[in-house]
Amino acid sequence: MLSRLAKFKQLRHFAVYGVVLATVAGCATVTPGREAAKPAPAQPLDHLTVVTPDADHDLTAQLLAGEMAIARSDLKAAAEAYGKAMRLSADPRVAGQAAELATALHDSQLADQAIERWQQLGAKPADLAMARAQVALDQGNTEEARRQLEKLVSSGDPDAWRQFGRALLGSRDSAVAAQLLESLATPQRLPADPQAWLAMSELGDKLGRHAYAQQLADAAIKRFNSAETYAWAGQLKYRNGDRAGAQALFQKALGREPKNVGLRLAYATLLGQTGDYAAASKVLDGGPQNADTYSLRATLAARANDTKAIGRIYAQLQRAPHDVRDSNAFLLGTLAEMLDKDDEALDWYSQVADEDEHAFDADLRSAVLLHKMGRTPESHELLSQMQTDYLDQPAQLRRAYEVDASLYMNEQKFAQAEAAFSRALQVVPDDPQLLYGRGLAYAETGQIDKAVADFRRLLQIKPDDIDATNALGYTLADANRDLPEAERLIQTARAAKPDDPAIADSWGWLQYRLGHLDQAEQTLRAAWQTRKDADVGVHLGEVLWKQGRQADAKRLFDEVRRIDPQSETLRDTLKRLSP
């Protein structure tokens, strides 16, 4: 089973191969029966020498150098190239770019030169005022910055307030920027445009002037009485802890634009964050639907464990127009999984388009589903194909290896799991989760030294990782070595997670190794009653056996066999106890 990326790459390779063949064929073709063409006689222009400028005086070269430097985030080289380009060009936009780059680089001298050149070439007064304000802010000259910002907002330029916001947002001194914002962006000066009011309110919130932001938002409501002003004021109230006030404002916003999808999503998100999933779902259920509404509805239903709601959403999406279904194939697959319709989920995942942002996840989920359905060879084959497809994408490659390893662990094929974890660690060295998984795999295959080394390395990286602390302690106890260290480790884990049955199992097994059979039985029995885990049951059974209670141990082993018929721990223990 090929992944969608593999199919795409095959098609792409065929296409490229065809182009190459066509090019070669075009170059090599000679009409049968004709002699090769004789060279044409020399022409007068063949002897003409064209003088080309050196790179420093070549406008095109400097512009290309500047753009290439920007692409690789080399501001210094970009500013240098555009500084040369602006002296060669009569285009004011080139000088404007030079000024912007110099300001970003905090090169005041170059910025002043670029602004002067920009002015000579006919820059707009608003653009010049903004640039000079940025330089003044960068130099800490607050009064000059204020003077230039006042010129900017008084210029009448339709873009003035957006530029005003950009200048303040880029300031290195947020306190100065906040002061200038409050003194200049007042209701008396702001234009009759709600977007400008909301932008200044949002900027105030970002700069930590929350009271100003809320006051401006409230003033915008009185001035414009629009859905967007109510919604923004509602968001601010929610951030400031006033949930009731936020809900009231969102309800007013929706009263003005009940079919506004963005508003419904924002309000439903707010309600979902408060835990009111039913109200959030109600907001989204009515009105127009799109990919975002369906997705959020599904998320809310899943959080509420509302299987009926999940079923309704799934049915609605299945009845949706063809293009809607196509664009929501991944969501449909996810919903089908939630409803335990695994075959349908696989079918939907196979329909996720190659260019869809969920294409990788669709393949990954397909592999997990195939494994769940007992089609393990297909599952690992798909994951193997994905590991080839995503060789140049480390994040996806890591996940493909990790899922492959986890499925092998589930199958108790620990050698294959260890190999997959090792390949993943070549992609992301010292990844804590991968080290933990490989350590467990090593322990299961009896490679205790390697397991201990992985757990120790993990604890060097994350000293407070309780799972790794417990895993190292248990591994040492199970190997019956370094028991004092094992005791310290497991005690640390118990103190952090006193109710964790896995850690209780470690402690009980350590007591068994120390010969404290009564304490071992007490601890393991409590862990077994908390969670019927096969390994805990086997450990408790061995303790009972050593206490001379073989009949009780056999009954417990039978119960473990019903829970996990393939338990290797049980098999190994029975061989050891009844050779």
The pLDDT of 435-444, averaged and rounded, is 96
Q: Which residue has the higher pLDDT, 46 or 382?
A: 382
Q: Which residue has the higher pLDDT, 261 or 43?
A: 261
Residue 57 confidence (pLDDT): 80
Whole-angstrom distance between the N-terminal and C-terminal Cα of the chain? 45
pLDDT band at residue 496, thresholds of 50, 70 and 90? very high
The pLDDT of 308-327, averaged and rounded, is 91
pLDDT band at residue 234, thresholds of 50, 70 and 90? very high
Maximum alpha-carbon separation in the chain: 111
| Residues 138, 78, 71: CA angle, nearest 5 degrees | 110
Residue 41 confidence (pLDDT): 52
The pLDDT of 349-363, averaged and rounded, is 94
Q: In this prediction, what percent of the chain has a pLDDT beyond 90?
A: 79
The pLDDT of 287-298, averaged and rounded, is 88
Condensed to tens digits (0 to 9), the pLDDT of residues 154-185 reads 999 999 999 999 999 989 999 999 999 999 99
Rounded CA-CA distance 556/311 in Å is 41
Q: Cβ distance 213 to 176 under 8 Å? A: no
Rounded CA-CA distance 63/482 in Å is 67
Query: Residue written as tokens 């009569």?
Result: 90
Condensed to tens digits (0 to 9), the pLDDT of residues 43-101 reads 544 444 444 556 678 899 999 999 999 999 999 999 999 999 999 999 999 999 999 99
Q: Cβ distance 300 to 268 under 8 Å? A: yes
Residue 291 confidence (pLDDT): 85
Enter the pTM of the model: 0.69
Amino acid at position 579, single letter: P
Residue 53 confidence (pLDDT): 58
Positive or negative torsion for Cα 411, 412, 415, 420: positive
pLDDT band at residue 274, thresholds of 50, 70 and 90? confident
pLDDT at 576 over 70: yes
Residue 56 confidence (pLDDT): 74
pLDDT at 28 over 60: no
pLDDT band at residue 205, thresholds of 50, 70 and 90? very high
Cα dist from 138 to 132, 141, 146, whole Å: 10, 8, 13
pLDDT band at residue 2, thresholds of 50, 70 and 90? low
Residue 528 confidence (pLDDT): 92
pLDDT at 503 over 70: yes
Number of H-type helices and E-type strands within the chain: 33, 0
Rounded CA-CA distance 354/299 in Å is 24
Average pLDDT, the chain: 89
pLDDT band at residue 447, thresholds of 50, 70 and 90? very high
153: closest CA among 125, 111, 117? 125
Residue 5 confidence (pLDDT): 53
pLDDT at 462 over 90: yes
pLDDT band at residue 8, thresholds of 50, 70 and 90? very low
Condensed to tens digits (0 to 9), the pLDDT of residues 246-257 reads 999 999 999 999
pLDDT at 320 over 70: yes
pLDDT at 207 over 70: yes
User: How many residues can be counted in the chain?
Assistant: 579
Condensed to tens digits (0 to 9), the pLDDT of residues 127-161 reads 999 999 999 999 999 999 999 999 999 999 999 99
Residue 10 confidence (pLDDT): 43
Q: Which residue has the higher pLDDT, 353 or 54?
A: 353
Q: In this prediction, what percent of the chain has a pLDDT beyond 70?
A: 90
Q: Cβ distance 128 to 114 under 8 Å? A: no
Rounded CA-CA distance 31/396 in Å is 51
pLDDT at 18 over 90: no
Query: Residue written as tokens 């900017």?
Result: 152
Q: Could you count the other beta carbons within 10 Å of the beta carbon of residue 435?
A: 25
Which two structure tokens, joined as six digits, stand for 374?
Answer: 């007992």
Residue 324 confidence (pLDDT): 86
| Residues 243, 249, 254: CA angle, nearest 5 degrees | 125
Q: Which residue has the higher pLDDT, 552 or 6?
A: 552
Q: Which residue has the higher pLDDT, 420 or 42?
A: 420
Residue 446 is given by DSSP the state: T
Q: Could you count the other beta carbons within 10 Å of the beta carbon of residue 366?
A: 26
